[in-house]
Amino acid sequence: MINKSTTFKILAVDDDPTNINVIMSHLKPLNAQMLIATSGASALDIIKATPPDLIILDINMPNMSGIEVCRKIKEDPNNKHIPILFLTASEKDISEAFEAGGLDYIIKPVRSEELIARVNTHLTLSTLVESLDRANVMLESMNESLEIKVSERTKELVSANANLRREIEERRRLQDKLTYLSTHDFVTRMLNRTSMELELKNVLDSTQEDQKYYFLFIDLDQFKVINDTCGHIAGDELLRQIADLLRGLFSKQDVIARLGGDEFAVLFSLDSLDHAIRRTAAVKDSVESYRFEWGDDSFKHSLSAALVEIDESIDSVSHLMSIAERTCFESKRKGGSEVSVYNYTKQHIDKTHQQMRIIPLIHQAIENDRFTLYYQEITPMVAEETKKIELLIRLVGLDGKIKPPAQFIPVAERFHIITEIDKWVLRKAFSSIIDLPDNVELAINLSGDFIVKSNAADVIKKYVTEYQITPSKVCFEITETSAISNLESTQALIASLKPLGFKFALDDFGTGTSSYEYLKELAVDHVKIDGVFVRDIDKDDISRKMVESIAGIAQAKGIKVIAECIETAESLEILRAINIDYYQGYYAHVPESLGNFKS
């Protein structure tokens, strides 16, 4: 503790006089000499004239921030020993503050007990450091003249050595404290991420085959609500309480850590995955039944978690962390309050990871023109002069192999990059029309993401002008699901483009819940009956009735009907009897490169 007879000089720097008054009021019990500065420049002048023993420095000040002031103070070697405590309303600048030379920080609003405790601590540490410096100087002086004055100064040397031993012990205690702080989380006093990663490395390097280890990754779902509603002090208190709760759920042999933010992790050993799952379920139940009280408010929490069995397939700590984070993301994606077990969800997570690896290939294909167009004929039941073909996209892999749309279109739709593919197809299709005979009509698919774009019609009109195409030679196909999900956008697009001569087809028709109702809402020229009804029409009476019903209603509205997925002559004859207008499928034509098209 501070010597009560010693008067310390404390400099308080804050541009807000109210904060200055609060600090002076809180520190009045210390009987310190208070120096006041309301700007960085005035603080530097005071330090030059009257060096203080400790500085309390606000981070956010006009003209010169507290961090800039700190750097300028520490540029002077004479000021390096002065401890600086930062005042801040947010922890976001703390890392930079420590780098500038700060020793500690206090979150606003300032609490009296916390401020006095931290000022006492750092004044004590500063006094000890100065004492150590003086002792070291004295020891050096003594060693220089030791041979001459050994007999005269024996008693003084013994006394000095005794003091030195005490000071060394104090330094060791301080070093132990610094070591603790470097391996533990400041808020919860749990191990930190670095310590957990070291424990994980030891387990991965271990050759013990008789022990099964499990890694539990925990992410609190509603932590941000506490921070935003009650402030960071409440958030820190919640983290401390959750940490205490977790300590009570695991043994001393288990390793528990706060990884950062609202993320915790536990490394534990049990005899089987089933037992590990039950342990994890108990943790989830305990956390979600816990109530956090703050003032008059009570908060309930849920968690998203990942349980990973550590086995030979995991080759590094970073690999394990990546698996845990991806698995926890699956829990978050399901809406939270979920535990995903890597062994149980591995196939799905690996599939997602593989899909993520396709994204760069899609971007490269867009940038480097590595897509190519195929086509499939749409054949009329009664011969006509106009030929209809549907354009189909393929991706050319880096190995030159052609990848079908099933390998990249779902990924592009899931991660919302399908619009760029739509634009590529439109540009390529419109530029190809010039080389095709006049009696060829192109069917081009549009995605739901493209349809909802406010400028979708403008983009198409721009391409019409750029490539000088005849709109009547193009029919846009929109799936029933996309059309229903984006009904207003679909109606607006049709209304904008139909007057130019473009045609529209409702693709995959019949899969929706109210297909006939939406058929009345959309001014389409063609309906393409979904292949799920057509494929087995020669074997399934229900499928046949569905096709007959769709065809009858569409034809009553003057809409042409196209049947997809025709694979047998028997199916074709049934469709002919139903008076379907067009058919499409492998029976009539296997898709091939657009470059092979001949009229």
Q: How confident is the model at residue 343 (pLDDT cuts 50, 70, 90)?
A: low
Q: Indicate whether 420 and 538 sit together in one domain.
A: yes
Average pLDDT, the chain: 86
Spell out a b/e string for 372-390, using b for 16 or more CB atoms within 10 Å of the CB, else e: bbbbbbbbbbeeeeebbbb
Strands 54-58 and 9-13, bridge-based pairing = parallel
| Whether residue 3 has pLDDT greater than 70 | no
| CA pseudo-torsion sign 429, 435, 436, 438 | positive
Helix (H, G, I), strand (E, B) or coil at 81: coil
CA distance 4 to 223: 43
Q: Indicate whether 212 and 82 sit together in one domain.
A: no
Kindly report the CA angle at 212 between 247 and 184, in degrees rounded to 5? 35
Instruction: From 549, 546, 513, 525, select the one nearest 477 (Cα to Cα).
Output: 525
CA distance 599 to 589: 14
**Contact 433/469 with Cβ under 8 angstroms?**
yes
pLDDT in the model for residue 380 = 93
pLDDT in the model for residue 513 = 45
**Contact 56/16 with Cβ under 8 angstroms?**
no
Can you give the pTM of this predicted structure? 0.47
CA distance 200 to 10: 45
Q: Is 188 a member of any domain?
A: no
Report the number of distinct structural domains present in the chain. 3
* pLDDT tens by residue, 257-272: 999 888 999 999 998 8
H or E element that contains 248: helix 232-249
Instruction: From 174, 158, 163, select the one nearest 126 (Cα to Cα).
Output: 174
Q: Is 261 a member of any domain?
A: yes
Domain boundary at 111, 144, 177, which? 144
pLDDT in the model for residue 481 = 79
Which residue segment(s) compose the domain that 571 sits in?
369-596
CA distance 298 to 437: 73
Q: Indicate whether 347 and 376 sit together in one domain.
A: no
pLDDT in the model for residue 516 = 72
Q: Indicate whether 286 and 388 sit together in one domain.
A: no
Q: Is 168 a member of any domain?
A: no
Q: Indicate whether 344 and 436 sit together in one domain.
A: no
369 φ, ψ to 5°?
A: 60, 50
pLDDT in the model for residue 156 = 74
Q: What letter does residue 397 receive in the DSSP assignment?
A: -
Helix (H, G, I), strand (E, B) or coil at 214: strand
| Whether residue 205 has pLDDT greater than 80 | yes
H or E element that contains 257: strand 255-260
pLDDT in the model for residue 127 = 81
Q: Indicate whether 121 and 198 sit together in one domain.
A: no
Q: Is 559 a member of any domain?
A: yes
Q: How confident is the model at residue 352 (pLDDT cuts 50, 70, 90)?
A: low
The CATH number for 126's domain is: 3.40.50.2300
Q: Is 590 a member of any domain?
A: yes
Q: Is 216 a member of any domain?
A: yes
SS (H, E, C) 553-584: HHHHCCCEEEECCCCCHHHHHHHHHHCCCEEC
Helix (H, G, I), strand (E, B) or coil at 475: strand
Q: Indicate whether 122 and 215 sit together in one domain.
A: no
Q: Indicate whether 335 and 373 sit together in one domain.
A: no
- Six token digits for residue 3: 């010597």
Q: How confident is the model at residue 451 (pLDDT cuts 50, 70, 90)?
A: very high
| Whether residue 1 has pLDDT greater than 60 | no
Q: Percentage of residues in the chain with pLDDT exceeding 70?
A: 93
The CATH number for 235's domain is: 3.30.70.270
Place of tokens 């499939």: 376
Q: Is 356 a member of any domain?
A: no
Q: Indicate whether 417 and 498 sit together in one domain.
A: yes
Listed range (40-49, 504-513, 543-552, 553-562) with the worst mean pLDDT: 504-513
Beta bridge partners of 440: 387
Q: Indicate whether 331 and 379 sit together in one domain.
A: no
Burial of 466: CB neighbours in 10 Å, binned 0-12, 13-18, 19+: exposed
Q: How confident is the model at residue 207 (pLDDT cuts 50, 70, 90)?
A: low
- Six token digits for residue 530: 């979904």
Q: How confident is the model at residue 383 (pLDDT cuts 50, 70, 90)?
A: confident
Helix (H, G, I), strand (E, B) or coil at 221: coil
Instruction: From 444, 404, 400, 442, select the one nearest 423 (Cα to Cα).
Output: 444
H or E element that contains 545: helix 541-556
Q: Is 238 a member of any domain?
A: yes
Q: Which residue has the higher pLDDT, 13 or 481?
A: 13
Q: What letter does residue 9 receive in the DSSP assignment?
A: E
| Diameter of the chain measured on Cα atoms | 126
- Dihedral class, residue 277 (left if φ above 0, else alpha if ψ from -120 to 50, else beta): alpha
Q: Indicate whether 317 and 389 sit together in one domain.
A: no
CA distances from 54 to 21, 125, 240, 284 (A): 17, 11, 30, 46
pLDDT in the model for residue 570 = 92
Domain boundary at 317, 351, 385, which? 351
Q: Indicate whether 580 and 438 sit together in one domain.
A: yes
CA distance 318 to 305: 18
CA distance 557 to 302: 53
* pLDDT tens by residue, 411-446: 888 888 899 999 999 999 999 988 888 889 999 999
Give the best-scoring range by mean pLDDT among 293-297, 319-323, 427-431.
427-431
* pLDDT tens by residue, 481-535: 788 778 899 999 999 999 999 999 998 887 654 567 777 788 999 999 988 888 8
- For the segment 90-102, the average pLDDT, to the nearest whole number, is 87
Q: Where are the beta strands (DSSP E) in 446-595?
A: 474-479, 503-509, 526-529, 560-563, 582-583, 592-593
Beta bridge partners of 443: 390, 475
- Six token digits for residue 143: 């060693």
